[in-house]
Amino acid sequence: MELEQGLDWGDRVVTFYDAFASPVGSTREVKLSGADVWTVREGKIARIEFFSHRSEALKAVGLI
C-alpha cells in the first residue's frame, strides 16, 4: 500500500492511496486506487469511510 496524499480538513482527513497485490497463481500485479475519510474527535479516530472513487471522498467533505 502506498499513501499518495493526505488532506487535513479540520476534524476530517482525506487520504488517497494505491494498493498493490498479486493474485494467487498470477505473476501480474494489480493496482487499486481509492480514498478514505477519517473523522477524528478528541485525538481518536471516530469514523472511517471508504471510497472506491476519489471524487466521492472529496464530495463527502465538501471539497467539490
Q: For residue range 49-59, what is the model confidence (pLDDT) as tens digits?
A: 999 999 999 99
Task: Give pLDDT tens digits for 12-61.
Answer: 999 999 999 998 999 899 999 999 999 999 999 999 999 999 999 999 99
Q: Which domains does the chain carry?
A: 2-60 (3.10.450.50)
Confidence at residue 61, expressed as pLDDT on a 0 to 100 scale: 93
pLDDT tier at 64, thresholds 50, 70, 90 = confident
What is the Cα–Cα distance from 9 to 33, expressed in whole angstroms? 21
